[in-house]
Chain A
Amino acid sequence: QQQVKQSPQSLIVQKGGISIINCAYENTAFDYFPWYQQFPGKGPALLIAIRPDVSEKKEGRFTISFNKSAKQFSLHIMDSQPGDSATYFCAASMENTDKLIFGTGTRLQVFP
């Protein structure tokens, strides 16, 4: 029940295309869903996050879509750029806890 399942494991997109990464969870007590971006040899950095009271959140070219009934959420990167090439992790946490449960990561490569 603590798992967050992420797919695909790797993704190749052409410059200007849309990158879509999906995550699914089981525990309905999760109430915070962040996405982290990690470049090779670096630590992850928070990219964007959403709470279940909204179905979508957009920040620039990055959008989270959230489907509470399906217990799924996804990251959409519009107009993907080579500089977006990185590993992306979804995560989830419950209210009043410090613990983030991470997905297994998606390695995105954007080719010119």
Chain B
Amino acid sequence: DGGITQSPKYLFRKEGQNVTLSCEQNLNHDAMYWYRQDPGQGLRLIYYSQIVNDFQKGDIAEGYSVSREKKESFPLTVTSAQKNPTAFYLCASSISQDPETQYFGPGTRLLVL
């Protein structure tokens, strides 16, 4: 089965803690993206990566970090600097020839204890 997997489905963070959300794709897509979804605000781009070992900040990158060491993996770390991390986090990917068509994973819901 080809697709995008995100884990865990739910994640709890304590104050001052860094947490990492996993995103893996076996679609052989070049580009990968991280979005944050909050009620009534749509999807906002956090980071994106067009090729391995390269990534760019999106509209709301503060308090987040990413890495792209492998084509199929794009983990997102929510650092303690992100003061309002509670949200639904979505990972997506696309092929270089059609970057506008993005395929989304099932999401990770992050909650703060």
Could you tell me the dominant secondary structure of chain B's interface residues? strand
Per-position 1/0 for A43-55, Cβ under 8 A of B: 1111001000000
Q: Quick check: B106 and A42 within 8 Å, CB to CB?
A: yes
Residue of B nearest to A36 (CB): B104
Q: Quick check: B41 and A99 within 8 Å, CB to CB?
A: no
Interface of A toward B, CB cutoff 8 Å? 6, 9, 32, 34, 36, 41-46, 49, 89, 93, 97-100, 102-105
Counting residue pairs across A and B whose Cβ atoms lie within 8 Å, the total is 54
Interface of B toward A, CB cutoff 8 Å? 4, 31, 33, 40-45, 48, 50, 58, 90, 92, 94, 99-107
Q: Quick check: A104 and B42 within 8 Å, CB to CB?
A: yes
Q: Quick check: A9 and B90 within 8 Å, CB to CB?
A: no
Residue of A nearest to B102 (CB): A100
| A89 touching B43 in the complex, CB below 8 Å, given contacts A34-B100, A43-B90, A46-B101 | yes
Q: Among the listed B40, B42, B48, B105, which residue makes an inter-chain contact with A43, where contact means beta carbons less than 8 Å apart?
A: B105
Mind listing 6 A-B residue pairs with CB under 8 Å?
A46-B102, A98-B31, A98-B48, A98-B50, A98-B99, A102-B42
CA gap between A100 and B48 in the complex, in Å: 11
Apart from the given pairs A43-B104, A43-B105, A45-B104, 8 other A-B contacts in the complex at a CB distance below 8 Å: A43-B90, A43-B107, A44-B104, A46-B102, A46-B103, A98-B48, A98-B100, A103-B42
